[in-house]
Amino acid sequence: MSHKEYIEQGQLYLGIELGSTRIKAVLIGPDHQLIASGAHNWENQFENGVWTYDLQAVREGVQAAYQDVLSQVKDAYNLPIRKLAGIGVSAMMHGYLVFDAQDKLLTPFRTWRNTMTSQAAEELSELFQFSIPQRWCIAHLYQAILNDEAHVKDIRHMTTLAGYVHFLLSGEKVLGLGDASGVFPLDDTGTYDRARIAKFDALIKDKGYPWALSDLLPRHKTAGEEAGRLTEEGARLLDPSGNLLPGAPICPPEGDAGTGMVATNAVVPGTGNVSAGTSIFAMIVLPHSLKKLHPEIDIVCTPDGSPVAMVHCNNGTTDLNTWIALLADFQQAIGQTPERGTLYKAFFDAALKGDTDAGGVLTCGYYSGEHITGFEEGRPMLVQLPDSRLSFANLARSILMTNLATLKIGMEALEEEQVQITRILGHGGLYKDNTAGQRLSAAALKTPVSVMETANEGGAWGIALLAAYMAQKQAGESLGDYLDARVFHQMKMKEIAPEDADVRGFDTYMSRFKALLQVERYAVDHL
């Protein structure tokens, strides 16, 4: 069948992902091929010491991204979209969204980017003997309790950004397993760990809150299950014109980590992916539990329940984007019209021409705190060694290597555990232009890194695949089997193995970067 016939018959799967700087919507057919891709740019705000997004901006952005899809479909096929066969919602993970009994937001959304919960994360990690990152929902909740915040007594529901948008579309308070595993730890059966829930309830018993933790946690479902249907209100949110009919099944909402795994076919043990955007993180599917607690590694799970080691870094491509913006300003200053796509390509091309160790040019792109290296705040900086060779190529290479440096520090714990990785796939903005991001990732991780032709579609495509899996799977067909047999069997892929010179250069850069962190500490303390 043609794309036009898919549209006419409503055989369409919509994936929506709310990323840090862009809300994206993709439309695919039952063959999983892209029909249309829409987007809406947005930015977080730093208000009263908190990184946040206004929830009205969430609604407007989701609608704008879908309207962009409608516009593309109309331009290409001169057709409206009346019916969808499935919908999925993905978003940046974790943070703090809490509501009262009337579903009123009790405090501004606290995003994953905040590093204000160190006391809570440390105390809970010790109590549970399980690594609780600062950005997890339970860390935010407990920190609010430690701070004696007045709103805590009124909480009746806690969720993630993906869960909130899913609620807007379906009226259901539910999460996918991957997203739920960043709300509160799951046990080996894939449910919230009852023993740890009991420990938490005992910990806060003296506070006298009118709720127990299990009352606040959203229900969770596994990949392949239906998690609700598009309501009339949800349909009008996406399409105020009234063309879109309600009733489409919606798959469990997921975090961007889970949909990144799906989008790179990394959901079975031994596989992994690196997602490189505003934050950068690696997800390695584990064949077994780790031997000991590693504070730099989060244990989450795939959308279908396999354990995953997650190394999450708050600071990704923000520094890169800022330098590109500076170059655009320079172009305007000399009377040229900047074209961002051309600038990014030139930047990545230059990085491949730089010295393998960036010629003594060092950058630290910490715009916010970084838990892996122990920073609650960041101070972006550029530093040169006395004998450095400052050039555009070395600056570009330094910025791209810094984008991977903190991730490399976090991955060292997996080397200790002798976790065998059979396949790493990269996706996100770092892998969009030429091979620089891929080549440097291979050098940093010392393992081959592959990129698919869908690398820049990322999690929006991944959640659309989960919607298609929900609707099209056969009885007993696992998510891994579905992806292997029906989605990726003919997918074009480019693999790059680490080059010895790049590895040596990255190792040299890393020794300097670790020393630079002492300068970063001084800057945070004194600037």
How confident is the model over 229-249, as pLDDT tens digits? Answer: 999 999 999 999 999 999 999
Q: What is the dihedral of CA 173, 178, 180, 184, to 10 degrees?
A: 180
Q: Is the pLDDT of residue 454 over 60?
A: no
Mean pLDDT, the chain, whole residue set? 94
Structure tokens at 176: 């996918």
Best mean pLDDT range from 69-83, 288-302, 440-454: 69-83
What are the two backbone dihedrals, phi and then psi, of residue 34, each rounded to the nearest 5 degrees? Answer: -70, 130
**Pair 263, 253: CB distance under 8 Å:** no
Work out the average pLDDT over 290-315: 89
Structure tokens at 223: 């990949």
Cα separation, 434 vs 432, in Å, equals 7
Structure tokens at 383: 């530093």
What are the two backbone dihedrals, phi and then psi, of residue 23, each rounded to the nearest 5 degrees? Answer: -100, 125
With residues binned 3-state (H G I as helix, E B as strand, rest as coil), the percentages for the chain, rounded to 5, are 45, 20, 40
Reported as a pLDDT band with limits 50, 70 and 90, residue 293 is confident
Per residue in 126-144, pLDDT (tens digit) is 999 998 989 999 999 999 9
pLDDT at res. 289: 77
- Beta pairing partners, 306: none
Cα separation, 296 vs 255, in Å, equals 19
Q: Which overall architecture, per CATH, does domain 94-159+184-217 show?
A: 2-Layer Sandwich (3.30)
pLDDT at res. 189: 86
Give residue limits of the domains in the chain. 94-159+184-217
Chain centre distance of CA 111: 12
**Pair 187, 179: CB distance under 8 Å:** no
Q: What single DSSP character describes residue 485?
A: I
| Sequence-separated (6 or more) residues with CB below 8 Å from residue 278 | 19, 20, 21, 316, 317, 318
How far CA 167 is from CA of 107, 234, 260, 287, in Å, comes to 18, 9, 22, 34
Instruction: Sheet containing 449-452: give its strands across.
Output: 298-301, 307-313, 280-285, 271-276, 423-427, 449-452, 493-496
Chain centre distance of CA 318: 14
Work out the average pLDDT over 437-445: 94
pLDDT at res. 52: 96
User: From the CB of residue 468, how many other CB atoms can be counted at a distance below 10 Å?
Assistant: 26
pLDDT at res. 431: 85
Strands 174-176 and 219-221 turn out to be: parallel
> Percentage of the chain surpassing pLDDT 90?
80
Task: Indicate the length of the chain as a whole number.
Answer: 527
Closest CA to 170 of 58, 251, 82: 251
Per residue in 178-225, pLDDT (tens digit) is 999 999 999 988 899 999 999 999 999 999 999 999 999 999 999 999
Helix locations, 252-358, DSSP H: 256-263, 318-333, 340-351
Q: Is the pLDDT of residue 455 over 60?
A: no
Structure tokens at 319: 């520094």
Work out the average pLDDT over 30-51: 94
Cα separation, 368 vs 370, in Å, equals 7
Cα separation, 182 vs 220, in Å, equals 12
Q: Is the pLDDT of residue 453 over 80?
A: no
Write down the residue that tokens 């693999």 correspond to: 495
User: From the CB of residue 143, how many other CB atoms can be counted at a distance below 10 Å?
Assistant: 22
Q: Annotate 21-45 with DSSP letters as a single string.
A: SEEEEEEE-TT--EEEEEEEE---E
Per residue in 270-291, pLDDT (tens digit) is 889 898 888 898 999 998 778 8
Helix (H) or strand (E) holding 197: helix 194-203
Q: Is the pLDDT of residue 458 over 80?
A: no
Q: Amino acid identity of 493? A: M
pLDDT at res. 457: 60
Cα separation, 224 vs 169, in Å, equals 18
Reported as a pLDDT band with limits 50, 70 and 90, residue 413 is confident
Strands 307-313 and 280-285 turn out to be: antiparallel
> Percentage of the chain surpassing pLDDT 70?
99
Q: Is the pLDDT of residue 525 over 90?
A: yes
pLDDT at res. 456: 53
Closest CA to 343 of 433, 219, 403: 433
Reported as a pLDDT band with limits 50, 70 and 90, residue 336 is very high
Q: Is the pLDDT of residue 426 over 90?
A: no
Q: Annotate 364-397 with DSSP letters as a single string.
A: E--SS-BGGGTBSS---EEEE-TT----HHHHHH
Kindly report the pTM of this predicted structure.
0.81
Per mean pLDDT, which range of 149-158, 297-306, 327-336 is the poorest?
Answer: 297-306
Closest CA to 279 of 321, 311, 312, 257: 312
Work out the average pLDDT over 437-454: 89
Cα separation, 79 vs 81, in Å, equals 7
